[in-house]
A = this chain, B = another copy of it.
Amino acid sequence: MAIRPKYKTRQRERLLEYFTSVPGRHITAGDVCEYLKEKGESIAQATVYRQLDSLVEEGILVKYNVEPGCPACYEYLGEEHPVNGETCFHCKCTKCGKLIHLHCEEVEELTEHLDQEHKFRLDPRRTVFYGVCEDCR
């Protein structure tokens, strides 16, 4: 399940290029395929899914699911982001879809707590907090 691409392939580069061109937008796997199809390019669906998974794992994309049962969305975060060491969590508004970057000490504490008390090592890159934002409530 956990796939970590190390190779610089045409497909991977193309996906990255596309995602950097639509920062802040949420894109489904289907969107990607459709986009490529329109461009006359082609990447196998399975490859799209696999690369998307990898990019999420690397912290370059966030994956979230606003509506259960609906396709998952991906959003570009940036490639430098995760490298900086500074952890960043994300809040996703289930009403308007807004993605909020969270730099917060309390979350750090929780991370610490989960690690110490629950022996659970939280992964900020994979974890998305769902809820309702200020504007939507």
Partner-B contacts on A (CB < 8 A): 2, 65, 67-70, 72, 91, 93-95, 100, 102, 104, 106-107, 109-110, 113-114, 117-123, 126-134, 137
Main secondary structure of the interface of A (DSSP, over half): mixed
Q: How many Å lie between the Cα of A70 and that of B131 in the bound state?
A: 20
Question: What's the nearest-Cβ distance from chain B to residue A23, in Å?
Answer: 22
A70, B67: Cα distance in complex, Å: 11
Nearest CB of B to A20, in Å? 24
Q: Please, how many angstroms separate the alpha-carbon atoms of A126 and B110 in the complex?
A: 18
A-B contact pairs, 5 of them (CB 8 A): A68-B68, A91-B122, A104-B118, A106-B114, A119-B133
Q: Which chain B positions have C-beta within 8 A of A128?
A: 127
